[in-house]
Every structure is written in structure tokens, then in C-alpha cells.
Amino acid sequence: MRAIIGPVALVDCNNFYVSCERVFDPGLLRKPVVVLSNNDGCVVARSNEAKGLGIGFGTPIFKCGELVRSKGLKALSSNYALYGDMSRRVMDCLSRFSPRIETYSIDEAFLDFSGIPLTERTAYAHQLRRRVLKEVGIPVSVGVATTKTLAKIANKLAKRNAGLKGVLDISGEVDMDALLSAFPVSEIWGVGYRYSQTLNRHGISNALQLRGADFSWVRKKMTIKGLRTVLELRGISCMPLELMSKDKKAITSSRSFGKPVVELDELKEAVATYVSRAAVKLRAQGSLAGTLMVFLATNRFKPDDPQYSNFLHLNLPTATSDSPELIRHACFGLQRIYREGFSYKQAGVILSNFSSERHTQLDIFGAEEKRERGRKLMGVVDAVNLRFGRGTLEFAACGLEQPWKTRQEMKSPAYTTNWDQLPVVRA
């Protein structure tokens, strides 16, 4: 369901992953903290204190050793079970402030504010902010404007200026020209590195200049999406609220390995593991995959090592969500592209070309009975893993030792999603 919108609020959690960690470990408050990517590789979330130390997004953590020693920088492995659960709590809380809500990402939501009179919007946003902090423990920022693109800008300004206390409403009378002329074009939603380079070359460096740019020129250089951005900067809403979450059109599962992998058998275990994870998500949305892509690659950061990467698309004979079947196809594909004599660093699979499980095309070879048994088995496996935690039941093809598994040496417990890891309060 889509809807034309009036004023809209963008609510964005501040330094979300770090804030989640702080809820359960107050010792991290007011300290420089970063959360690392899978494999404990590079920085994907930073506390304000860490940003103050000059640590950029994506910095490899091995370059921060000195800061850990001299400034007490604390680095944590990412804990997606925790962040996913905290996200759900934040969204629950927000939906009580406006039932017309679009969950845009794990840490962001757009809320329809058209029911709130102009003079009350700022106060309402402050109230919302206090409530999320009290109930969930996560600090958020709120930007209110007449379009999503402008709300994004308001939100960034609210975060940036401490005096605003996390809220900025630009949906009413404001000096929009002054505001936009001070906002760099590269920070506009939908303008990435490439486009901002092109725009800069043509003398467009701030949001006011982009707002005034020639429509057909923008259309040519930045496609229809760029044109929508320009219109939104003018206050014309082109991006409606998406109130219903949509099914995914593709599901990827891939990881860098904790250490290089040479043997085909080990690669097969890894790929079998990834494809079973993807299959769980596939079944959860009631889809069948018609295409499976498998890929592998050596470490591109070691240019002196022999390099090789490849991928293979497989059009499956029958669309399926059956884990053993998908594992068979993935291993077959992997075998086709595997070359001996390389140290592999990464592999993965992408499922796509989905159809609905409810109107399956019948298998011309009459294997319906077998498929039905498979469906029931998958249902049981998913239910057990949901109840007792991921990995309770696994396929033998995924291996037992899993030496290739990613490193996560600084991970916090799954405080909210695993009974064994609930926080303990000491009297």
C-alpha cells in the first residue's frame, strides 16, 4: 500500500549499533566505541567520541591499534541478533506515534505527520524522542519536512547541531534558500560519490544549486531518480510512504572467511552453510527461487597472491526453497568454477527469480510427493531453529568444525534473544 503524503518525519537512531551495545553495558557510555563488520574487519558504527578521534566509516580496525592503547578505544564485534531485536522495539514504540509508518532500514523510519498541526510538530517530535529513549534506551534524531528528501536533510541538521536537541522541523516557514545553500550536494539522499563529482564539475556544490538545476540536464545525467530528488528539494513529494513491507527480490548470503581456504571440500561446507541461511529467509517470505548464483574470490587486498574470482548462474529445473536441493545445486556450481591452487577469501550465493510458494508450477516429472515431504521437513527444521536458536539443526553438508567461519572475538551476548544470555542483575 502506498500513500500520498503531507509532512513526514524521518526518525533515525543515533549511532545505532553502538547505542544498542550501550543499553546493556553502560560502561561504554561517554567512551569512544566502535562496532566492527563481520570477521572483525572494519568499522561500521562509531560513537560520537570515536568520530571525534577521526575514525572514519570503513576504517580497518588493525589501523586503530594505537587509539585502543592511548585513548581507550573499545572495539566490539557486530551482534546482529541484538540489533535486529532492538530495532523491532524502536519501531513498535514509533508506531504508537503514527500508525502510518515506513520502516526504511534497521535504524530509520518515516512517519506520516500530516495529522499533527504545524505548531505542535516540534513538541510532538521531542515527546517521541523522549519516549524511545525511556522505553528502549536508544537516542534518536527527528527531521520533519514536506518531502522525504527534505526530511533527510532536516534530520542530518538535527543531529549536527547540538542546540536543536535532536529535532528540526522545516515543514513550515523557514528560510529554505539559506538552509539549502549551506548543505553540500554530496550529502543529499540519492546523491552518491559519482554524482556529486559530476555535479561539482558543473558548478553544483550545494542543495540550493541542485534545486535550481535544469530538469532535462538532470534527467540525462542522473536518470529519473535524480529528477525526483530535484523535485523533492522543491517541496514536491515524489516518493510516497511505503506502508507495507515488500518481499525481497533477491537474497544474498556471503562472508569473508576467517582464514584463507584452499580445499574444495571446505569451500563446499561454507557455501552449503550460506545457502541454507538464504533458504531460511526464502521460506520465511513464502517464496521459491528459480535462479541460484554462486561465486568465489581470492583476497583482492593481496595483489601479490595469485588472483581468481568467478561466478556461475544456475537456472534451476524447478523453482524450490528446499535446503538440501539448493545445497546440491550450489555445490555443483561451485565445483564448476573452482580452480585448484588458489587461496580463497570469500564465497557466497544469491537466490533470485522468485515465485510464490502458493502457486507452484507442477513438476513435469511427477515428483510432487517427494516435494511435499521436503516441505514438511523444512517446516520442522525452521520451527526448531526459531525456538532453540540458529544452528540447533543443521545439514551435514555444512560441516562440523567450520574452520573457515568468520572471526567474532569481541562479541557481546545476545541479551534479548537467547535465554542463556539474558543480562544478570546483581543486587
225 binds DNA (CB under 7 A): yes
Q: Which three cell numbers stand for residue 28?
A: 561504554
Per CB under 7 A, does 152 bind DNA? yes
Least Cβ distance, residue 195 to DNA (angstroms): 3
Binding span for DNA by CB under 7 A among 109-117, 242-250, 318-326, 409-417: 242-250
In whole angstroms, what is the distance from residue 209 CA to residue 221 CA?
Answer: 15
CB of 421 to DNA, least distance (A): 22
To DNA, the closest distance from the beta carbon of 189 in angstroms equals 5
165 touches DNA by CB under 7 A: no
Q: Which is nearer to DNA, 114 or 406 (CB)?
A: 406
Instruction: Compare residues 105 and 355 and give the one whose CB is closer to DNA.
Output: 105
d(CA 368, CA 371): 5
251 binds DNA (CB under 7 A): yes
Q: Among candidates 407, 396, 367, 402, which has minimal Cα distance to 276? A: 396
Residue 217 found at the interface with DNA (CB under 7 A) = no
Q: Which of 76, 111, 191, 398 binds DNA (CB under 7 A)?
A: 191
Which of 107, 112, 269, 322 is close enough to bind DNA by CB under 7 A?
A: 107
Q: Which is nearer to DNA, 17 or 97 (CB)?
A: 17
Name the β-bridge partners of 314.
292
User: Are residues 161 and 169 in contact, defined by beta-carbon separation less than 8 angstroms?
Assistant: no
Strand bridging mode 167-169 / 241-242: unpaired
Site for DNA in 276-305 (CB under 7 A): 277, 281, 299, 301-302
Per DSSP, 308 falls in state -
Least distance from DNA to the Cβ atom of residue 40, Å: 8
The residue from 178, 250, 362, 380 that contacts DNA (CB under 7 A) is 250
Q: Does 106 bind DNA (CB under 7 A)?
A: yes
Q: Cβ closer to DNA: 250 or 422? A: 250
Residue 305, C-beta contacts closer than 8 angstroms, at least 6 positions apart? 298, 299, 343
Binding segment toward DNA, per CB under 7 A, in 34-42, 125-133, 160-168, 171-179:
34-42
Shortest distance, CB of residue 164 to DNA, whole angstroms? 19
Count of CB atoms situated within 10 Å of the CB of 163: 4
Query: CA nearest 356: which of 322, 304, 319, 394?
Result: 319
Which of 151, 147, 176 has the alpha carbon at shortest distance from 238? 147
Q: From the CB of residue 164, how many other CB atoms can be counted at a distance below 10 Å?
A: 17
Q: Does 348 bind DNA (CB under 7 A)?
A: yes
Instruction: Give φ, ψ of 409 to 5 degrees.
Output: -95, -10
The reply to whether 253 sits near DNA by the rule CB under 7 A is yes
179-205 in b/e burial notation, b at 16+ Cβ within 10 A?
Answer: bbeebebbebbbbeeebbeebeeeebe
C-alpha to C-alpha distance for 77 and 58, rounded to whole angstroms: 14
- Give kind and range of the element (H or E) at residue 210: helix 207-211
The residue to which cell 541454507 is assigned: 276
> What is each CA distance from 116 to 67, 149, 172, in whole angstroms?
46, 20, 12
CA nearest to 353, candidates 293, 289, 295, 294: 289
Number of residues that bind DNA (CB under 7 A): 49
* Options 24-32, 232-240, 247-255, 324-332: segment touching DNA (CB under 7 A): 247-255
Among residues 171 and 276, whose Cβ is nearest to DNA? 276
Residue 195 binds DNA (CB under 7 A)? yes
For the CB of residue 39, give the shortest distance to DNA in the complex, in Å.
5
| The C-alpha cell that represents 4 in the structure block | 500520498
The residue count of the chain comes to: 427
| Closest separation in Å from C-beta 348 to DNA | 5
Tell me which residues in 38-77 interact with DNA (CB under 7 A): 38-39, 41-42, 44, 57-58, 60, 62
User: Beta 287-298 vs 344-356: how paired, if at all?
Assistant: antiparallel
Binding to DNA by residue 193, rule CB under 7 A? yes
Among 31, 71, 234, 248, binds DNA (CB under 7 A): 248
Closest distance between DNA and the C-beta of residue 178, in Å?
Answer: 23
Q: Which residues bind DNA (CB under 7 A)?
A: 37-39, 41-42, 44, 57-58, 60, 62, 104-108, 152, 188-196, 223-225, 246, 248-256, 277, 281, 299, 301-302, 313, 345-346, 348, 350, 406
